[in-house]
Structure formats: C-alpha cells, structure tokens
Amino acid sequence: MNRFVLAAVVAISCLGTAVSAGVTEEDLANDQTSTDNVLTNGMGRHLQRYSPLETLNKDNVKNLVPAWAFSLGGEKQRGQESQPLVYDGVMYVTGSYSRMWAIDLKSGEEIWQYDARLPEGILPCCDVINRGAAIYGDNIYFGTLDARIVALDRKTGKTVWNKKIADYKEGYSYTAAPLIVNGMVITGNSGGEFGIVGEVQARDAETGELVWTRPTIEGHMGTLNGEESTMTGTLNASWPGDMWKTGGGATWLGGSYDADTDTLIFGAGNPAPWNSWLRNAGEKNDGSGDNLYAASRLGIDPKTGEIKWHFQTTPREGWDFDGVNEVVAFTDKDGNKRFATADRNGFFYVLNRDDGKFIAAYPFVKDINWAKGIDENGRPIYNEEMRPGAPNTSSEDGKGQQVFAVPSFLGGKNWMPMSYSQKTGLFYVPSNEWGMDIWNEPISYKKGAAYLGAGFTIKPLFEDYIGSLKAMDPATGEVKWEYKNDAPLWGGTMATAGGLVFFGTPEGKFMALDDETGEELWSFQTGSGIVGQPITWEEDGEQYVSVMSGWGGAVPLWGGEVAKHVNYLNQGGMVWTFRLPKQLASAN
C-alpha cells in the first residue's frame, strides 16, 4: 500500500472514529440547552426537569395532538416509571422487569428490544419498576432488578458489558437511572428493607471496571482503583454494636451532578431496621444516635469517591423517611447557588451548594406531627410522642405502642421527581397528604429476609383528595397554588419556558397546567395510570412531548386504606408521544 493510500485509509479511519463518538461529556453538560435531544435523566444532570422551549405555550397547548403510541407488550405491564431519552432520531425507554427498547422517533416503530432475563428469587422491595437509562458514547446503560448494570450498543441493542453491583440473594436490586460524569457510570443500589448497605459505585463507561466505591453507612470501607481508600464516617460513632454492618441507607433513587462545584449528590435511604429503638446509640441528643449516613444527602468527589459534605434530614430515623429524594441545583433570585430537596419527612430543604450547609426548611404537606419544626441547624425538633414505641417483649405479638404519624412512610413526596422553572423561580412538587398507624415489633437480621421491625397502615388525611401538586417558592416556602387529585400522585413533573407544567395522574390523565396559576390548559386520557416522567424536545420546528403510561409502583402494594382510591385502576405499558403541528403553533 503506497503512502497516499495509507494516509487516506488513516483519514477515513479517524473520520469514522469521530462520527461514531456518539454522546460526549460536553453533550451531557449542555443537555438542558440543546433542545433537539434529551440525554440525561432529569433533562440536565442538575435534575431541574426544565425546558427552555417556548414553541408550545399557554395559548397553543390546546392544539397538542398524539403523534404515535408504542406498546411495551407482553404480560409485564406493571409500574412504568421510566423517563425516555432521545438521541439521533431514536427514543430509548426502559420498562418493568428490566427491559429496554429503542424506538424510531418519527414512526414510533420498534428498532430493537432487550430483556435482562431475570433469575428466580429476585427481591424487589417496591414493585418491578425501572426509572430509566443513561447514554454515553455509542452505549446505552441501565440497571436490573438482580442488581446489575448493563451497557448495550445503542444502535443494535447488543450487550457490550454486564457487571454485578451486588448480590441479589442478599436483598440488593437496582432500579434508578445511572448517571454519567467524566466518562464514568455512577450507580447506587436498592434494598434498604433487607438490611443491605447503601453504596455509590463509579465505573469506567467503556469497560465497566470499577473506579471507586463509597458505602453510605459509617464503618464500611471505600475503594479507589481496586484498593481500600477510606472508611465512611467513624466506626460506632453513631451506631450501636454491630448494627452498622446491616445498616441500610440504600442509594436507590440515583444522584445528580453539580458541575459548578464538581460534586455528585446522592441520597441515602432509611436505616435498617425501621425499629429506631434498636439503633439508639446514646440517650442524649448529642448525635450519638444519629445513625449516619442513613436518611442523608451526601456530596461526593467524583474523582475519588470521598465524601465532601453531608446533610442528614432525619437523624435516628424511625418512620421510613428515606433521604434519597432528588437534590436539584438552582440559582435563587438573589444570585445565590442553592440546592433544593423535598424530603419524605414532609419538609422542603434549601442548602448551600458549596458545602451542603443548611439554609432553610419549610413544610410542604399538611399536619406534619412527627416533628414540631426544624431548628436553625437543620435538625428536626422531634415530637417524641409520635415516635412508635419500643417493642413490648412481655406481650405475645411484641407490638410496641402504636401512633398515628404524618406523613406516612410513603412520604410527603416519594421518588416522583419535582421540577424547577427558571422562568417563574418556582418548584413544582408532586406530593401526597396521608398519615399512618405505625408500631414497632421485635426483629433480627436474616440474610435475604425483610428487616423492618415495624408494622403500618396508611390512611388518607382528607376525604376529597390525597395527591397534591404544589407550586412552591424556595425563598419563602409559600405555596403559590395547589392542584388536588383524588388518587395519590406518583409520577414526575416537567416545567417549560412556554409557561407549562406537565404531569400525569394514576387515573390516566396526562395534563398541562398554567405554571403561574395551576389552571388546567390541556389533558389527554392515556388509558392507564401515569407514574412516569415527561420529557420534551424539538424537531423540524415542531415541539414534542412524551410520557410513559402504566400503573404500578409502591402505592398499590402498600396502600392500606388508600387502596380503595386505586384498586380499580388498570395496569399498562405505553409510550405516548404528542406533537404541536407547525400549522397550529400560532393558532389560539
């Protein structure tokens, strides 16, 4: 081969590499402003779920019409909580039972399907859901119910690598959308009800090999490049005896990334067991019984996995108030860089983005009674009368004193993501108004078995509604408006610069509300309950909106007296895509 031909071959080879490079770190960083694709869970790694698109607005949203619908098919139509991704003319969606599809964006036709083929004996706590994927290079990544992370070729659906996060036989699983940062796939884990240990893992996106691990419970050792790095916290500083070994703190909702401070933010779930009397390491209110870092938000260095800061929302947690709820980075009206998170415990927190320090907290649901408020340091002022009593070893059933606590263990807000509008400066928070009878029981740890030590019954607070979508001012805690819904809300919201807030209901309605007033401007009946997360993008001058429809999740499994509000709802599995035709974009 002469040198001219060789040079041509090299040039073509290099060109081919450039063309097939796929999604880059820069693409992920610009996901919110690049409106022709949706590349990240949260429509930006800060999780604002906000689109700057204005083509679709308050005046013309009534002209939004279906473009296509795609059925997930089969008998596995249960709990579709995924957020779709859109890239290069293809939509990628995950579904229940750890499945994924690539769908042609124009026609709605299937390109490929992947089924994880789960083993017998998986132990998902709260339904067989999956919340979405991540994309980087020419790979698409998602987690499975047997606690694995899988990389697929985005064009063919063929497996590139398949790695074990943890042992599903011990109660581990994985349901969150992975997070991509600087060429690494960042994952958490699920299984807090089984006495597992929460952890964040970072892997090389190309090979799947571990870069670092960071447990979320004190006493456990992290790793970096295959070697032990540092211990999480200080052994037995806030846990009694050996209880830290099965301390819970699952990182089951995944994380966000704040590029301004180069920080990963992950939440840690409930401590294990639920019975807080077993975890009391000290009688004084001196932090010795806080059970770190369960029920906390952690700021983590993405390079090393070291914990930079932590903020614990519910020390010595005893009501299943997980600390996993998403942490959204935003800039307030005075130019301050802040984090916001709406906790299971019913309080909306504002933190400083530089160091995670507490700024303010406001109740966002009604009749909270487990705490009297939040003090100047961000710690709850407990109403100890509302802590379920210690197990009664002298009784036959061992039940301790029962209390009626508000909110219920499913939270003022559970997993369903809120959105933030850069236009209004408001957060749109899907919440639920309910409480629970709760009591503690004797419990001991057994690998792969439920590790609660508590019983409960959920009850609605009001006769006329449970679900409540609230528009909340993070500067004052004022609720500007509220949309009430009969059944609990269990899906995400999305805000747009066109003045719209999109969300769905368990009754199957996909809706657009006025972002300033809460007025309903448009709705469409999807045929099954919506527990998914909407997205929007623009193609050829037309704006599109998509959402998954398919009832399921934790509510029908753990509903208690709420069941009558939802037990008539049909399961399903559909991706609905809507468009605003060009000729109707200016029609009022």
pLDDT digits over 388-434, tens only? Answer: 999 988 888 889 999 999 999 999 999 999 999 999 999 999 999 99
In order, the DSSP letters of 31-81 are TTT-TT-B-STTSSTT---EE---SS-TTTGGG-EEEEEEE--SS------
**Distance of alpha carbon 571 from alpha carbon 562, whole angstroms:** 17
Q: How far is residue 487 from each of residues 79, 253, 364, 464, measured CA to CA in Å?
A: 15, 23, 18, 10
* Number of residues written out for the chain: 588
Sheet of 90-95, strand order: 85-87, 90-95, 99-104, 110-115
CB 100 within 8 A of CB 85: no
* Pairing state between β 139-143 and 134-136: antiparallel
Q: Which of 31, 127, 320, 515 is catalytic?
A: 320
Q: Could you tell me the two tokens for 232?
A: 């999480």
416 SS3 class? coil
Residue 522 in tokens: 């448009």
Residues 291/188, Cβ–Cβ less than 8 Å: no
Q: What is the mean pLDDT of the chain?
A: 93
Segment among 431-435, 545-549, 582-586 with least mean pLDDT? 582-586
The position carrying tokens 């090393």 is 304
Q: How do residues 363-394 score in pLDDT, each as one tens digit?
A: 999 999 999 999 999 999 999 999 999 998 88
Task: Tell me how far CA of residue 500 lies from CA of 54, 286, 307, 416, 471, in angstroms.
Answer: 9, 46, 37, 18, 12
DSSP string for 142-175: EE-TTSEEEEEETTT--EEEEEE-S-GGGT-B--
- In tens, the pLDDT along 480-535 reads 999 999 999 999 999 999 999 999 999 999 999 999 999 999 999 999 999 999 99
Structure token digits, residue 100? 């994924």
Using DSSP bridges, classify how beta strands 50-51 and 494-496 pair: parallel, antiparallel or unpaired.
parallel
Q: In percent, how much of the chain has pLDDT > 90?
A: 88
Greater confidence (76 vs 250) lies with: 250
Helix, coil or strand: residue 578: strand
Residue type, 341: T
Residue 227: Cβ within 10 Å count: 7
Residue 150 has, within 13 A of its CA and on its CB side, a CA count of 26
pLDDT at 143 (0 to 100): 98
The pLDDT, as a whole number, for residue 402 is: 96
pLDDT at 557: 87
Residue 587 has pLDDT above 90, yes or no: no
- The bridge status of strand 403-405 relative to strand 328-331 is unpaired
Please say whether the beta carbons of 264 and 200 come within 8 A. Answer: yes
For the cut 50, the answer to whether the pLDDT of residue 88 exceeds it is yes
Closest CA to 113 of 149, 74, 161, 147: 74
- Backbone phi, psi, residue 282, to 5°: -165, 145
Put simply, whether the predicted model's pTM sits higher than 0.85 gets the answer yes
Share of the chain above pLDDT 70, in %: 95
Single out the residue of 463, 504, 505 nearest to residue 487, CA to CA.
505
Q: How many C-alpha atoms does 578 have within 13 Å on its Cβ side?
A: 23
Which of 55-64, 282-291, 407-416 is predicted least confidently?
282-291
- Residue 14: pLDDT band (50, 70, 90) is very low
Number of Cα atoms under 13 Å in the Cβ half of residue 182: 12
Maximum average pLDDT range among 25-39, 546-560, 562-576: 25-39
Question: Quick one: CA torsion of 267, 270, 271, 277, rounded to 10 degrees?
Answer: 140
| CA neighbours closer than 13 Å in the CB half-sphere of residue 65 | 9
Residue-level pLDDT at 78: 87
Q: Is the dihedral of CA 278, 444, 175, 434 positive or negative?
A: negative
CA distance 455 to 450: 12
CA–CA gap between residue 40 and residue 494 (Å, rounded): 14
Tokens of 287: 């932090």
Beta strand residue intervals within 84-133, DSSP E: 85-87, 90-95, 99-104, 110-115
The predicted pLDDT at position 8 comes to: 38
β-pairing, 347-352 vs 139-143, is unpaired
313 and 345 Cβ atoms separated by less than 8 Å: yes
Stretch 345-354: mean pLDDT:
98
Contact 25, 183 (CB under 8 A): yes
Is 320 a known active-site residue?
A: yes
In three-state secondary structure terms, 17 is: helix
pLDDT confidence of 76, banded at 50, 70, 90? confident
Q: Which residue has the higher pLDDT, 4 or 280?
A: 280
Residue type, 527: G
Q: How confident is the model at residue 281 (pLDDT cuts 50, 70, 90)?
A: low
